[in-house]
A and B are shown apart, each in its own frame.
Chain A
Amino acid sequence: MAFKIIASQCTQCGACEFECPSVAIKFKGEAYVIDPNKCTECKEAADTQQCVSVCPVPKTCVPA
């Protein structure tokens, strides 16, 4: 399992990119994208998914 970003909602602020403990988030072409192979859902690193917690727009970082 992994998380994904709904590109149409994203403000492209980049906060999730530098909070992600797994370095799974990158700006690709036009949008921020989560690499499903790298995303750990923050299981080891934190209590909550960091991208979800920092994202200013509700329902933008969601389970894939």
Chain B
Amino acid sequence: MSRPFLAALPILVRRERALLAAAVLAPPIALIVTVILNLGLYVAMGGDPAAVVYAMLIEPFFSWASFSEVLLKAGPLLLIAQGLAIGFRAKVFNIGAEGQFVLGAIFASAIPIWWPDATGQWIWPAMLLFGTVGGAFWASLTAFWRVRLNANEILVSLMLSFVAVQLLNYLLLGPWKDPNGFNFPQSVMFQYDAMVPILIEGTRVNVSIILALLLSIAAWIFMQKSFIGYKLQVGGLAPRAANYAGFRESRAIWLSLLIGGAAAGLAGAAEVAGPLGQLQRSISTGYGYAAIIVAYLGGLHPIGIVLSAVVMAALYIGGDNAMVSANLPVAAVRVFQGSLLLAYLVAIAFMRYRLAWRPAATRSPI
């Protein structure tokens, strides 16, 4: 059949042992390849590559105004990705972080919307707590469907994200709409005490980035040092062995989804109590999906994820910059994200395989 054509291609040969250097080099190499491919696309679309490179890759790191926004965006991405990565390592694919993020924002907003006149330093911490519960609650629906009804968690969590967005629309067009908001689908502006304290004067960077970093350390300890984290990883790598060892799959699913949902919910709460200051439709901008890329690009490792969250946040800010200065459509960021993950998945293959131009040995049929 297509044998002559396939024979001309190099084949993959499994390495004796996984190459650690490839694991470390894969993300930067993938990034470089993606930048080149996407610049080619922009040039083909009539863009100015120099302007795009400056706006996307240089400005976010060399202007304080831009970099503070990078930090602001990195917070939610970091939180969500850390939560998701724990599940992914246990082979529990929670793709519905977007919905859990939205539910976190909704739960957190309930406090300032129901008690707009309340004052006190307890309000924003209570909102973060409520948001965490909201995200975990939304993820628990998926966990229940997966454990009790055996339904695929990818599909259920994703469908619940669509439902969450409609729930948000319903609240903002109905009961939670700001009566003095000129009919805009948004809630009232929250009171001062409902806002997460600003960390760096003159920027929008708030305490939630510290929270995200602390939880990253917690995730590292949990995954690398704790027995439960170890059980989760074993369950992901060798489900049968884990089963024999008495590690229950259903517990791993519940734990993975609840952690992922709680982290996404916290991120959603920090978003309404932080830069937004109210509940609005634009809360759902795809953080939950971008965080999947952040998690993989960070090698599903807590430290790698911190780096990849900053890269992805810079990409968002750079994309915004390029939209203004180099006339780049905003959708280009999504194309960049998708191709970055693909390039990474190819690059990471070289950790386990090497290319060989000829089959090692042609075997006799018997």
Q: Is chain B a partner of chain A in the same complex?
A: no
B residues with a Cβ closer than 8 A to A are: none
